[in-house]
Structures are given as C-alpha cells and as structure tokens.
Structure 1
Amino acid sequence: MKSYSKYWFLVLLLLVVSCLDSLLISTQFMSPLFALVISLIASLAGWFWLVKTIEQDRDQIASYLRNPDLIRPGFQHKNFFGNIFAEAIQKIEDSDNDLVSTKQVKTMLKARLNTSLKKELLMESVIKQLDYGILIFDAQHELEFSNPAADPFLMDQDEQNQNYSDSSLSLSKALINNAIIPELAKLLTKTIERRDATLRRRAEFELASNDITSYYRAVATNLWDENQSILGTMIVVENIGEEQNEKTRHAEFVSSVAHELKTPMSGIKAYVEMLLDGDCDEQEAQELYGFMNDQIDRLTRLVNSMLNLARIESGVIEIKRHDHELNDILKTAADVIAPNAAEKDITFITELSDLYLPVHVDNDMLGQAIINLLSNAVKYTPNGHEVRLRSRMEDASAVIEIRDTGMGIPENSLPHIFDRFYRVPENNSSAAGTGLGLALVHFIVTNVHNGSISVQSKVNEGTSFNITIPLGHQEKKKVRQVASPVNV
C-alpha cells in the first residue's frame, strides 16, 4: 500500500476540492462562476501533477528495463506501478533463467553430439584402416557395412551368377543378394542357423587371383543386445598367408632335418653291417672306421648348427650388443681364416676403410657371421684364386663386402641361398656343408643387428656378399675424473 499512498492522496485532494466547490456554491460564499473557475483550476493542477508523476515513474521503469544491471536482488520500486513492475521483473528474471538453462542444455547437447560424431568418425577411420576384412549384417541378414579390406570378398552381378549357379547351395535369397563369396555365405548361414548353440563359428578358405593363392580365416559372430534380441552378425576375415607360409616352412624344415640326418646315419649303418659281417680285412676296416668318423663329424656339425640357430632365434643365447670399431672385428675374423686360405694358396686381401666405423653390435655373433662367409668363400674358391674382405662407410651405414673368384652361384639358386638346409646342387660335391651357415648369417645380420645382406654372383666368375650395419655408438661414455693435486 505504501507504493500507492501519494496517488491516493492526490485523488483524495481532488475530491476535497470538488466538495469545497460544491460548498462554496451552496453557501453562496462566492459567485458560482468564480467557484467553477477555482474548481477547474484545482482539478487541472491535480490531474497535471498526477500525470507528471506517472510519466516520471514510467521513465524510471524504462531506464531499469534498458539497464537490468541496475536491478539488485530484493529490489522494490515504490511508485504507482511498484507491484506490477516487481511482478514483471520477476517474470523477466524467470524467463531469463529459463533461457540460460535452455542455452546450457543446448550447449551440452551440442558438445555431446560433437563428441559422438568425433568418436564415430574415429571408429570409422580405424575400421577402414584395418587389415582385417569386416562385414556387418543386420537381423534380416542384409549387408549393412563393409570396410575396404573386405572388398576381395564381395562380388559383382556376373560373379554372383557364376558362383551361385550351383543348386546344391542351400542359401536364402537374402544371403545371395549380399553379393559375398560362397565361402562366407556358407559360414554366415551356419552361424545364423545355429546361433542358439554357439556364439561364433570360423572357417578357413583360399582365393586364387592372377596365379597367386591367398589364404584366409573368417570368424562369424552373432550380435545381441542387452535383452538378448538378435541385432545381426559380424564376419571378420584375416589373411593368414604368413601363418600358412610358416607352416609350410616348418614342414619343409622337418623334412630337411630328417633327410640330413638320414643320409649320414644310413652310411654309418651300412659300414657297421660290413664290419659285423667280417667281409673286410684290417685295412678295409680302418677305411670304414674313417668313413664312419666323417659321417659322425657331419652329424655333429649339423646338430651344432641347428642348436646354434635355434638358441639364437629363441633367445636362449643372450645377445650382448656393445660399442665396437667394425674394423677390429673384421681383422679378428680375417686372422681366423687366413691359415685356411694359405693352405689352398688363395690370395687373401683385406681392404679396410681408413675411417673409424663405430657400430653397436654383438661382437661374437657378428664375428661368427663374418667367419662363416669368409669360410664359404675360401671353401668354394679353387686353389690359386682370390678372396677379398672390404669395409667402407656409405651414408649412415657401414658396409662389409666379401668377394671371391670361385665357382659362383646359378641365378635360379640365388633366391633360396639363405633358406635353411638349402645347398646349391651344382656345388654339393665341391665341399661338405649343412646348409644352415648362410641361414644363421642372415638371422644375425637382419634380426640381431637390424642390418641387411645381399648377394650377387655369376657362375665361374665369383660371388659377392654385402652386409650393411647401422653406424653409431649408443653407450654413454664414462668421463675419466682426474684427481686434483694435493698440497702437502
């Protein structure tokens, strides 16, 4: 009521003035015309005052609306519009709060949407970059998604007509329309039909293209939601070519080992039978003992080579890499081989770089690899020929070259020269060997020292092996501390 007091006062004043007018006229205190003028003037003055006050309040309210910061908590405007203004301000504040809340919710939802989109794009990018083929089918078995790695397992219409012409394929029309290869279609069918029995199924298959056969393993998995309702099926296809090659290499390795062991053992058995039969005299018996001893030596070399290779590959032999000067290692290896070269009247030349060649290597292993190569060079080089050992710096690497002028290696044998148990057929009769030496050298250079090895050869001209090892020391050098002189 306080905010309306002065306005009620004005209205009351106008009423009093009107009453006085009537009283003056009735009592004839003054003339009626004068009383009317007085009443009119008083009324106009009162109404003018009222209108002026309202206009001032209106202007003040407008200034508050234009500058909301002037309004403080608990603000009350004591004028004719006080309650109306307070109610309006409260509604404005409520609307403003609702607007702020709406903006906050909108901002939060936008942030969540952006985060979801980023995650979706990230996952899509990851899936597209995978080497695994991924195919996703919905609950109606229709193909919904496949990444680029799955392209080899999709077919065009002509391929469909050709591959699905076999009526023995009991596949639904939906599966055939997916345009996936029959191997995956069969796997998908079995996975869907037996979804209650097993969560996933797998199958292996091979595809031939341009005379190249690739091997794959596919795993199909049923997808369920939290209510155990089927969402669809996913197939992941992995290229197992390397795994298949490893199985092939393992089978070939076992076969080669069996063959290498069988040959000397068969010889030993034959010699023993001759001795047991007593069909030979003392001199012949001594010769047989010598043959048996040679075969036993061959078995020993074979077994030792296999053990050395297996121990290094499996990590049983600890690799001890330290900083060394490469030429020091090469000089030591040359000193080991020099007597063998001298026995065959082979000119053994060392041309080592004048530069300091720092390397971080296992001294024993790298030295053994160099000795193996030098030994082969001497072994397969005729008497009176030449073997060279060289070293040089090339870019950020140290290069070791071992060149001979021996019988050489046929071109068709070069791709297999580092295979286990492989021996050049044309050179088998020239020198004994296990076929594991170069495989061991290749492993030491490439796997142990992160280097590379290559071979060039021409029949009757000679062979050259080139080893590349990264340059650089990696161990921190210890600073020698010199004691300060002590004053006595």
Structure 2
Amino acid sequence: MNISGKYWFLILLLLTVSCVDNLLVISQTVSPAYAFLIAFAASLAGWAWFMKSIKHDQQQIAACLRNPELARPDFQRKNFYGSVFAEAMHKMEESDTELSTTNQVKTMLKARVNSLLKKEALVESVLDNLEIGILVFDAKQELEFTNQAANSFLLAGTDQKQTTSESGLSLGKPVVEQTVIPELAKLLAKTIERKEATFRRRTEFEFTSNGISNQYRAIATNLTDENQVALGTVVVVENIGVEADEKTQHAEFVSSVAHELKTPMSGIKAYIEMLIDGDCEPEEADELYGFINDQIDRLTRLVNSMLNLARIESGVVEIKRHDHELNDILKTAADVISPTATEKDIKFTAELSDMYLPVFVDKDMLGQAIINLLSNAVKYTPNGREVRLRSRMEDTTAVIEVRDTGLGIPENSLPHIFDRFYRVPENNRSAAGTGLGLALVHFIVTNVHNGSISVQSQVDEGTCFTVTIPLGHKEQKRKKQLAPPANA
C-alpha cells in the first residue's frame, strides 16, 4: 500500500470509530465513558498499525541502502518513503555518475601531467647531452633555460646550479647583460631590436674556456606564437673549431697546390719561349727539352699523388682488408726498393722477425706505405750508407721500423713532417718530391689500419720511422668466438 492509501485508511478508520461511538452513545447501548474507551482503543490500534507500517518501510529502506541490488520494482508504490527514497536514490546515482566522471577526468589529467613531466625530463636530458649550447630567453630577455654545454657562456654571477637542476620554465633570470658573455648579449640585443628586418641573426667569435681557446658560431632566433606574438629568443652556440681548422687547411692546401703547380709550369713556359724564339743552339735546345721533361714528370708525380690521396680519403678507392702475414708484405716492399738501393751503392738490410706476425690489413695500401717510407730513406741517404727494414712483435701490436743513415730532419721540421706538401727546406735540393708521400703514409697507417706512426731523427746521422698496427687475424677471432666449449 502506498503512502496516500495508508493515510486514507487511517482517516476512514477514525471516522468509522467516531460514527460507531456516536451511535452507541445516542442509542444508549453503552455509556459515554465506555464509548470513549472503545474509540480511544480503536484509535490507538490504528496509529499502532500506521507506525508499525512506517517502521517496516524504514527497515526496507535500510536494507535497500545496505544492498541496493535487492530493490524491488514495486518498492516505490508500497513503501511509505518510496517516492522520497526513489528521488534520493536517483540523485545519489547522478552524484555517483558525476563523481565517477570526475575521477576518470582526474585520472586522465594525472596521467597526462605525468606524461608531460616525463617528456619534459626527457627533452631536458637530451638537451643536456648535446654538444651544442642552447640558451632560451623569454620576452623580457630573462634567461629561462640553458643546457650543460651552454654553462661556459654564463657569467660568473649567474646561478648555474639552478639553471641545470630545475625546470627551465620558472627560473626568472637577471637581464641578459648580467647573465651571458658580451658576445652573446650583443647578438641577442641586435636580434630583438631588429626583429622586423629578420627573425634570425648569427655571429662568430673566439672564446676561451678552461684555458682552451676555440672558435664558436652563435645563431639567435626570435620565437613567436601563431598570432606572431613574441615569446622569446633561443640562442644556439656551436663549436666550429674543427670546421675553422678544416677551412684553414683547405686554404693552405689550395695555396700549396697552386704553388707546386706554378713553379714547374713557369719553368716550362720559360723554356718553351726560349725554344720558340730560337735563341739557343741545338745542344742547349736538347738540354731545355730535358728540363721540360723533368718538369712534366714533376707535375705528373704531383697530380698522381694528389689523386691517390684524394681517392683514398674520399673512399673512392675501396679498402680491402684481409688476413695476411706482415713479413710477406714487407718482403715484397723490400724487393721493390732493393734495385734502387743497389744503384746508389746503399746497403739495404731487411731484418724481419722470425715470429709469425698476423695482421688484418689492406695488402696493397700498407705495402704502398712501406714502399714510400723505404723510397724516402733511399732517396735522402747518400751513396755508400745504409738503410734497414725491421719488424717485431710488441705486446699486441706489430712494429715496423724504417731506419736510414741519411741527411736527417731538423728538429723544427719534425712536427710538420706529415703535413701535406711539406718538404724539409734543408733537403729540397737532395731529391725531387711532392710533399704528399708521408701525408699518404700517415693516412694509410692511422685512418685505414687504426695504427700509429712516429719519427725520430738527427741531422747528418739519420732518421727512423716507426709504424705500429694491431696484431691478429679477423677470421681466427671469428672462429674462436664460434667454437664450442671444450667440454662439449
């Protein structure tokens, strides 16, 4: 029974009792006092039934709250609190839905924040491990972020620890003039002041850090949003010391090549002009033809040497490294040089190790390098003296020595002996050369075979070139790695 039915039932009960009571009193069936007791008892019974019904409904609601899944479809119709409870339950379900949605949104936002924090940490870690310095300034020219590589460009008073340990989004640094070195401050000022003309500017400067001076290139770029509102400026600083050295070496190389080509070409032109004018006798003409031939040979050697060096360095010549016995390569090189040494009455001795010296090398390239060293030794050794070729094992390396008793190299020339086109001034007249032979030897030994080469020399006593390359056969190492265990 619903709430309205219970109310009407109670009212009808009370009206019925009242009417019956009045009839009994009017008919004088019972006394008024007894009639009142009957009406009172009936009223108490009705109210007791009504309160018991409400209590039962309360128990149902309590049970439903404890176990909402037990709610019956006719609960609202029969329960005294049914409509109120149903509305309350509806509101609670809406609140639960909103709370669940809120929790889901909260979880999603938390996951998004964690993801962003991880990405920020990853980006900062990447930036800190870059060799290029990065400095970020906001629209007020305050430093917002720097990576490790850029710390050397900060002034001494700048809090570098905070810059590298905290997020770059909330540092609040001083104005740029009090933060970075003058070269960067000047670049940043020009970039911001002239942002209408160009959003990016660059400069190159020399800077000394930890006692080491290097050349740097700085590029400043203004940052804007999609509405072209200024966000700040980023400055990227790159060490271009190697690039500057390469440019210098390239310029020196071109200058040296031009000089080396100009000298024989000038001689050839002069000799040809003399021959064309007919100002020389037949015997003199033959001598001039000989000079021209020598200069052409010199040009040919120079061009061939440059081509060989350029091809090897650029990778045009394929490097073919295989397992070889070092002494076999040295014997072949010795056989090539022996006739030249014999012509000059030079005692040539090959003192090769009795041990097996396994190496993983390009046979032709290494052989050419040894031939170049032996050729130089014979070339700059006077007649009647001695040249020796030696090999030995030293720890995990094979050592090759080319020793002569020739003119020797002055001490001031030793640091430049492997430079391209460099020739010892004191020895220029002793033999023809291009100054590229030792540069080629150095490249073959160090770059192609991961070895090293050094030189010791005394003027008028001789020179010793020492080459070291790693020992070992690649094929044997591979087989050893694939070999099964001894107890297999």
TM over 0.5: yes
Counterpart-to-counterpart distance in 2, 1:431 and 1:252: 23
Shift of residue 228, structure 1, vs aligned partner: 2.1
Distance 1:40 1:334, change over 3 A: farther
Identity fraction in percent? 60
**1:351 alignment partner, SS class:** coil
**1:131 alignment partner, SS class:** coil
Distance 1:468 1:30, change over 3 A: farther
Matched, 1:348 2:342: no
Shift of residue 310, structure 1, vs aligned partner: 1.8
Distance 1:39 1:410, change over 3 A: farther
Matched, 1:219 2:219: yes
Contact 2:204 2:215 in 1 (8 A): yes
Counterpart-to-counterpart distance in 1, 2:464 and 2:476: 33
Counterpart-to-counterpart distance in 2, 1:240 and 1:352: 49
Contact 1:402 1:465 in 2 (8 A): yes
Shift of residue 302, structure 1, vs aligned partner: 1.0
Contact 1:411 1:457 in 2 (8 A): no
- Which residue of 2 is the match for residue 387 of structure 1? 388
Shift of residue 469, structure 1, vs aligned partner: 4.8
Which amino acid in the other structure matches residue 386 of structure 2?
H
* Cα deviation digits, residues 11-39 of structure 1 (max 9, x gap): 54454345434443443334555544444
Counterpart-to-counterpart distance in 1, 2:338 and 2:11: 133
- Which residue of 2 is the match for residue 110 of structure 1? 110
Contact 2:422 2:435 in 1 (8 A): yes
Distance 1:222 1:122, change over 3 A: same
Counterpart-to-counterpart distance in 2, 1:72 and 1:189: 78
- Which residue of 2 is the match for residue 463 of structure 1? 464
- Which residue of 1 is the match for residue 309 of structure 2? 309
RMSD: 3.8
Stretches of structure 1 lacking an aligned partner (at least 5 in a row): 158-173, 478-488
Which amino acid in the other structure matches residue 350 of structure 1?
L
Shift of residue 97, structure 1, vs aligned partner: 0.7
Shift of residue 297, structure 1, vs aligned partner: 1.9
- After TM superposition, the structure 1 stretch with the greater mean CA deviation from structure 2, 424-433 or 252-261, is 424-433
Counterpart-to-counterpart distance in 2, 1:18 and 1:329: 137
- Which residue of 1 is the match for residue 368 of structure 2? 368
- Which residue of 2 is the match for residue 439 of structure 1? 439
Which amino acid in the other structure matches residue 417 of structure 2?
I
Counterpart-to-counterpart distance in 2, 1:189 and 1:132: 21
Stretches of structure 2 lacking an aligned partner (at least 5 in a row): 158-173, 480-488
* Cα deviation digits, residues 252-282 of structure 1 (max 9, x gap): 1122222322333445456556766655673
Q: What aligned pairs does 1:18-417 form with structure 2 within 5 A after superposition?
A: 18-32=18-32, 34-70=34-70, 76=76, 78-155=78-155, 177-207=177-207, 213-268=213-268, 282=283, 286-315=286-315, 317-321=316-320, 323-327=322-326, 329-340=329-340, 344-351=346-353, 353-354=355-356, 356-357=358-359, 359=360, 361-380=361-380, 383=384, 385-390=386-391, 392=393, 399-407=398-406, 409-417=409-417
Distance 1:176 1:470, change over 3 A: same
Contact 1:400 1:468 in 2 (8 A): yes
Contact 1:381 1:404 in 2 (8 A): no
Which amino acid in the other structure matches residue 352 of structure 2?
T
Contact 1:352 1:390 in 2 (8 A): no
Counterpart-to-counterpart distance in 2, 1:18 and 1:333: 141
Contact 2:422 2:436 in 1 (8 A): yes
Distance 1:355 1:466, change over 3 A: closer
- After TM superposition, the structure 1 stretch with the greater mean CA deviation from structure 2, 96-105 or 306-315, is 306-315
- After TM superposition, the structure 1 stretch with the greater mean CA deviation from structure 2, 300-309 or 208-217, is 208-217
Distance 1:390 1:28, change over 3 A: farther
Counterpart-to-counterpart distance in 1, 2:126 and 2:138: 21
Which amino acid in the other structure matches residue 149 of structure 1?
A
Shift of residue 99, structure 1, vs aligned partner: 0.7
Which amino acid in the other structure matches residue 351 of structure 2?
I
Distance 1:218 1:26, change over 3 A: same
- Which residue of 2 is the match for residue 164 of structure 1? none
